[in-house]
Amino acid sequence: MKGYLHAGLGAVIRTVVKAHESVVQAAGAVLPPQFVLAQHAAGISRTLLLGAAANLRLADHLADGPLTAAELATRSQADEGAVHRTMRALVAIGIFELGSDGRFRNNRISKALCTDAQGSALNAALYWASGSNVAAWGDYLRTVRTGETAFDRVHGMSIWSWLRKNPQEAADFNRYMQEVTEVAAPAIAMGYPFAEIQSLCDVGGGRGTLLAGILGSNPNLRGILADAPTVLEDARAFLAERGMSERVELVPTDFFERVPEGVDAYLLKDILHDWDDARSIHILKAVRRAAKPDGRVLIVEIMVEPHDTEFLGTLLDVHMMAVCGGRQRSRDDFRNLFEASGFRLSRVVKIAHLMSVIEGVAI
């Protein structure tokens, strides 16, 4: 029953997202095209306005009540005039409110920028507005012309090497990924029939956010968390806090080389979309070598078919192209990856938050 409810929730979310996109398209159909294009062209300003609000923790400062620009500037150690103009622009796009008394206050949207908000978007704003990300997108035209990854070209290294050299950006990025997973975990846990298996290895699962959610909904399941040693140190405390220490084994892993053996299924959430086909097959072959004869691999990602036009999936796809060198894939793409690495595509389970569980079975 719970799985059915979450499947229903997924359908509702997809419907709402589609309705929003339809409203935007309808507005574009009646507005002058020059106005619509100018709004889209100015999108970088919205990204950087949100990034400034996140860096200065403006929503946190307003959590206890309205403040003037001067008070906000003092608390955030910023320029009063610049803070006023920034807040005014954010109000204009629906983030924050400006009262008749000249004081700014949080609204439903800006509250999600608070550090302690449930499903906070703070680290999303920090990541998208980070200097390294904006610089990579600034060279996007050459990516379209050449097909080469902009981030590697601009920074002289991959995003993963960059994050290892820039620990603050890495921390913001990791928290962003954790926040995204925290929101999606309940739907994933209930949307796929994990009761069919007894053991699950989360490959590249970070501190174990998703694995803990799945184990919490499936009391007979045991887990393995496989990631880099430095990541697992953070995971140890998190899993203890969630009461999962006794049910999860931590295994230091380089998923390009090998993953733990002897489990029923291997879970990879938002791993393959970071990599091109050759590297993705390399990862899947490592999983296949470790898998049981009837073992499963579960890929959790947003699928994008060749003629899909949903905003989130298509935006994520071009971001993977520009920054990581990967892509969002279609059903046929996953079928081809599986067949090249010793699996067969067995089913696709759609869940909430526009994601799917793409299941492969060892052959």
Residue 175 DSSP SS3: helix
Give the number of other Cβ atoms within 10 Å of residue 193's Cβ.
13
Task: Assess contact for 235 and 208: CB atoms under 8 A.
Answer: yes
Element (H, E) at 127: helix 122-128
How does 60-99 read in b/e, with b if 16+ C-beta sit within 10 Å?
Answer: bbbeeebbbbebbbebbebeeeebbebbeebbeeebbbbe
> The dihedral of CA 102, 107, 112, 114: what is its sign?
positive
Distance CA 248, CA 318 (A): 35
Closest CA to 343 of 330, 358, 328, 355: 358
Distance CA 314, CA 310 (A): 6
273 has catalytic annotation: yes
Task: Assess contact for 129 and 51: CB atoms under 8 A.
Answer: yes
Residue showing tokens 């990204």? 47
Distance CA 96, CA 93 (A): 9
Task: Assess contact for 290 and 318: CB atoms under 8 A.
Answer: no
CA atoms within 13 A on the CB side of 291: 23
Catalytic pick among 61, 84, 273, 353 = 273
> The dihedral of CA 327, 330, 331, 337: what is its sign?
negative
Q: What is the largest CA-CA distance in the chain?
A: 69
Catalytic machinery residues: 273
